[in-house]
Structure 1
Amino acid sequence: MRRAVCPGSFDPITNGHLDIIGRASKLYDVVHVAVMINQSKKGLFTIDERIQMIREVTADFGNVEVESFHGLLVDFCKQRDIPAIVKGLRAVSDFDYELQMAQMNNGLSGVETLFVPTNPTYSFLSSSLVKEVATWGGDVAHLLPPTVHEALVERLAQK
């Protein structure tokens, strides 16, 4: 079985993330979406909420598994016998950082990284930017799956 992982914080998952996961799901038999746990960061959504949202919006792909991880991504890969990491690249600036990470991961464990160019429609998109624009009342509905947009609007209304 060909397996890969798409890692990230996904706070929240955007259409850009979904595009990369969907494209990976066509290349691999199983795509693991690994939701990163960073104890030093307070997310807008809990890890469990993010996992639930991702499961919901990726259900139609049929070959996506979603779970959280804490620690080194290469350990996550080793524990699940995953030989490849799939990362979306939005711009050249992403490449510099991601190349270093890919080389480190390969050096630590032999895990390969596949870089997928982001759909130009989403080349500017990040979860942080979506949250910031939404916080100030901007319309981000076209940047998120509908159920995620609804959850974002509800969460921001609670703040």
Structure 2
Amino acid sequence: MKTAIVTGSFDPITMGHFDVIERASQLFSQVIVAVLDNTEKRFLFSAEKRFQSVLECFKDNTNISVRLWNGLLADLVTQIENPVIVRGARNAGDFEYERMLFEINRSLAGAESIVLPAKKEYEFISSTFVKELIKYKKPLYGYVPNEAIEVLIK
């Protein structure tokens, strides 16, 4: 029984995030989605709203659990027996960033990581892009999971 950890700030969760988590749930028996709360970072949505939006997306998936995490990913990794960190990458820049994180998490916690490439239809979607849509009051459908939209617009 292998556990995957998928992390992110999910500010907000996008269809790309959703797809990576769904794909991880098909590859691993258990997936823990850790919504990271970094007090040094400025978020559009509160930690609780980000957590609730991700939770709503996966409430019916029995092998996906969601938790709010305020700390180093390496510390979370040490609480779980031999997890694999799963990340997504849209392009070469994302992959290079993930490679750096892989080295950090391996040195701090001995964690293995895999990177799932984004599906073509999600390569251009980023949380920054979605925040621009929100700023200009544009529709989020197709960019953000419908379940998350319901939570975010409340």
TM over 0.5, shorter chain: yes
Contiguous gaps of at least 5 residues in structure 1: none
- SS of match in other structure, 1:79: coil
Contiguous gaps of at least 5 residues in structure 2: none
Could you list the structure 1 runs, at least 4 aligned residues long, displaced by more than 4 angstroms after superposition: none
Is the deviation greater in 131-140 or in 14-23? 131-140
Q: Cα gap change, 1:111/1:90 in structure 2, threshold over 3 Å: closer, same or farther?
A: same
Contact 1:9 1:35 in 2 (8 A): yes
Once residues 40 and 71 of structure 1 are traced to their aligned partners in structure 2, the CA distance between those partners, rounded to angstroms, is 11
Once residues 149 and 40 of structure 1 are traced to their aligned partners in structure 2, the CA distance between those partners, rounded to angstroms, is 25
Give how far 1:151 is off. Answer: 4.0
1:20 maps onto 2:32 in alignment: no
Is the deviation greater in 79-88 or in 111-120? 79-88
Structure with greater contact order relative to length (CA < 8 Å, sep ≥ 6): 2
Instruction: Tell me the equivalent position of 1:104.
Output: 104
Once residues 61 and 151 of structure 1 are traced to their aligned partners in structure 2, the CA distance between those partners, rounded to angstroms, is 18
Identity of aligned residues (%): 39
Task: Give me the TM-score of the superposition, normalised by structure 2.
Answer: 0.92
Instruction: Tell me the equivalent position of 1:121.
Output: 121
Once residues 97 and 42 of structure 1 are traced to their aligned partners in structure 2, the CA distance between those partners, rounded to angstroms, is 20
Give how far 1:44 is off. Answer: 2.2
Instruction: Tell me the equivalent position of 2:45.
Output: 45
- SS of match in other structure, 1:113: strand
Contact 2:56 2:148 in 1 (8 A): no
1:91 maps onto 2:112 in alignment: no
Q: In angstroms, what is the RMSD of aligned CA positions?
A: 1.5
Give how far 1:89 is off. Answer: 0.7
Higher helix share: 1
The count of corresponding residues between Structure 1 and Structure 2 is 154
Code of the residue aligned with 1:53 in structure 2: it is S
Contact 2:6 2:85 in 1 (8 A): yes
